[in-house]
Amino acid sequence: MNLRPLYDRIVVKRIDEKETTRNGIFIPDSAQEKPQEGEVVAVGQGKMSEDGRLAALDVKVGDRILFGKYSGSETKLNGTEYLIMHEDDILCILQPAMAAAR
């Protein structure tokens, strides 16, 4: 089943962080905070402006993003958890490290 969000909404899959500390101590799921980093898996068509035009979104499928701790609505589909949020809830897009200076 494909998800197609409406307007300026996006669907995000959380990227899980490591479950152990540097010293090898296991941290149970109940004590961990949920990660605030995710990968965009679907985007809507754009944000509707006051004059009725659709403005394209800045994010695209495959982008890695950071979002607020309480952003979006959680949903589960086929055993996978997703967040559905507005583009405005995104704090930044993570870009790969730039190539070494020449």
* pLDDT score for 15: 84
pLDDT in tens, 44-84: 998 888 898 888 888 999 999 999 888 888 988 888 899 99
Ranges of beta strands (E only) in 35-79 are: 37-43, 47-48, 54-55, 64-67, 73-77
Number of Cβ within 10 Å of residue 10's Cβ equals 27
CA distance 60 to 101: 27
* pLDDT score for 102: 41
Model pTM score: 0.72
Taking residues 2-16, report their average pLDDT: 87
**Domain ranges within the chain, ordered by starting residue:** 9-19+35-94
Residues 6+ apart with CB under 8 A from 98: none
CATH architecture of structural domain 9-19+35-94: Roll (2.30)
* pLDDT score for 85: 93
Answer for the pair 76, 83: CB distance below 8 angstroms, yes or no. Answer: no
